Structure 1
Amino acid sequence: MQNLLYIVAVVLVILWALGFFVYSVGSIIHILLVIAVIAILLRVIRG
């Protein structure tokens, strides 16, 4: 389960970076970033 959270976080960060630099969609990309950061924090807190 922890590995899955890490994979999801990495994918969301990559999608955010692509969207930010290529598409500049707006608030949807920043929501993805927030979700990715939360997933990374959960992984760090849980060990």
Structure 2
Amino acid sequence: MIAADLLEELAARLAPGAAFGPGHAGEDLSRLATDLAKELLAQTFLAE
């Protein structure tokens, strides 16, 4: 769950907005980090 939380934080930082700025270069990596976080959380008791 900690790894998923860190991936979600990374995704938030790479997404366009206040943390990353107006650029869209990090969108693909942000989406990948979000998908990985969801996959990790799906394997825990939180998914139930």
TM-score (normalizing by structure 2): 0.69
Q: Which runs of 5+ in 1 are unaligned?
A: 1-5
Unaligned runs of 5+ in 2: none
- Relative to the length of structure 1, the TM-score reads 0.70
Per the alignment, residue 32 of structure 1 pairs with 33
More helix by share: 1
Q: Which runs of structure 1 show a deviation greater than 4 angstroms over 4 or more consecutive aligned residues?
A: none
Higher relative contact order (CA 8 A, sep 6+): 1
Q: Which has the larger radius of gyration?
A: 2
- Could you tell me the percent identity over the aligned residues? 14
